[in-house]
Structure 1
């Protein structure tokens, strides 16, 4: 069985993509599936044992139950915590759709049922002066799950991101409301209700879960619901 990919993106950076991606990995693993992880690009990496490694990618490696190396999960790792295309230019690494495609082909050899792919930053992450990570996702016809960081401004960010994903020709399998701080945003319920009603009534996009602020060791899997056909090919 070829790997069935699902792409996790967010309304902005620091919205909890990794936490939610690990939650989906945990949920699928609990259902008996073998799940691989892929975070092709990461900036803000530390040099560990002679290799640049990103904390988020290491979380994915810990949760995925397929046999993978760190290099397979995160082939493009950059030290400075800045926009990846700037970090890549500083070290002379070509960051292109074609480079992502090659890394994606490499991970296809992993023996797994599903592949959870985590983006970097938001949906329209620049790779270079004229290409975006979203170009690669659309080219591969990946289904998308949108993580909405529940904070002031999330309505505008969520609606614009949804419009951009759909305009690229991608299918949104659902969205997740993710609480980013110990205390929920003011008027959380009103903001959630608006997004939930609008996205379903206008675009038929369902909310897959409301995830509270999680302590270390807690899994978003406890707050996510997936249907039998969620990960079926579109």
Structure 2
């Protein structure tokens, strides 16, 4: 089980999470195994109303990339229609999103039963939940290693190092980090990537280039899941 966070809201957490799920499936097939993988989005803001209820695109993408067939509610138990800060949406809807309330709505049995479960956060590491609580507390409660997605753009070095510092200060290990190129025109990209590789303390899982029309399958081609130690966990 891993918690996927990002350096900010638009770092590409969902794209990288779905790519990791596909890469993990491929890794299992190379070992002659059939891993049961699942992606979870505990809380999401920004959803369309459908005949079946609110549906968030990030959660739907995680469902499509997972090998387990899950209900929408198992993947995304807390969903708000407005694309605003979740704690503000929760106040408007009079819903509790305290860390313990979020954990209580997760299907922990299904998550524990999967060979690999990726829990995608919302926003960055310190996403506010209101009343002085943060989404990072959910990861702390579950004691999950963290995968950090660094959105490669101007300012990413500071964002990456501060996020790394906060995760480690919260007592959680960083299982790996991914560089996700958001800006195809980013100046001195290679130099920034090299700097991050020197300064980040966690294993480097890969660099995903700017892709005009990205898919989970494309992203998986650029990811190395072996540093996560998953083969040892699954055998």
Q: TM-score, normalised by structure 2?
A: 0.90
Any conservation in 2 of the 1:177–1:211 contact (CA below 8 Å)? yes
Any conservation in 1 of the 2:24–2:225 contact (CA below 8 Å)? no
Any conservation in 2 of the 1:37–1:116 contact (CA below 8 Å)? yes
Change in CA separation of 1:78 and 1:6 when aligned onto 2, cut-off 3 Å = same
Any idea what SS the aligned residue of 2:160 has?
Answer: helix
Change in CA separation of 1:34 and 1:184 when aligned onto 2, cut-off 3 Å = farther
Q: Could you tell me which residue of structure 1 aligns to residue 170 of structure 2? A: 168
Any conservation in 2 of the 1:44–1:54 contact (CA below 8 Å)? yes
Change in CA separation of 1:216 and 1:177 when aligned onto 2, cut-off 3 Å = closer
Q: Could you tell me which residue of structure 2 aligns to residue 21 of structure 1? A: 17
Q: Could you tell me which residue of structure 2 aligns to residue 187 of structure 1? A: 188
Greater Cα shift, 223-232 or 13-22: 223-232
Any conservation in 2 of the 1:22–1:219 contact (CA below 8 Å)? no
Aligned length: 223
Q: Could you tell me which residue of structure 2 aligns to residue 35 of structure 1? A: 37
Give matches, 1:93-172, under 5 Å: 93-104=95-106, 106-109=107-110, 111-172=113-174
Q: Could you tell me which residue of structure 1 aligns to residue 218 of structure 2? A: 219
Give the Å deviation of 1:19.
Answer: 0.5
Larger helix share, 1 or 2: 2
Any conservation in 1 of the 2:205–2:227 contact (CA below 8 Å)? no
Q: Could you tell me which residue of structure 1 aligns to residue 60 of structure 2? A: 58
Change in CA separation of 1:144 and 1:67 when aligned onto 2, cut-off 3 Å = same
Of 72, 78, 81, the match for 2:80: 78
Q: TM-score, normalised by structure 1?
A: 0.91
Deviations 1:117-136 (A, max 9, x none): 10000000111121111011
- Uncovered stretches (5+) of structure 1, i.e. residues with no partner: none
Distance 1:34 1:119 in 2: 21
Distance 1:86 1:113 in 2: 35
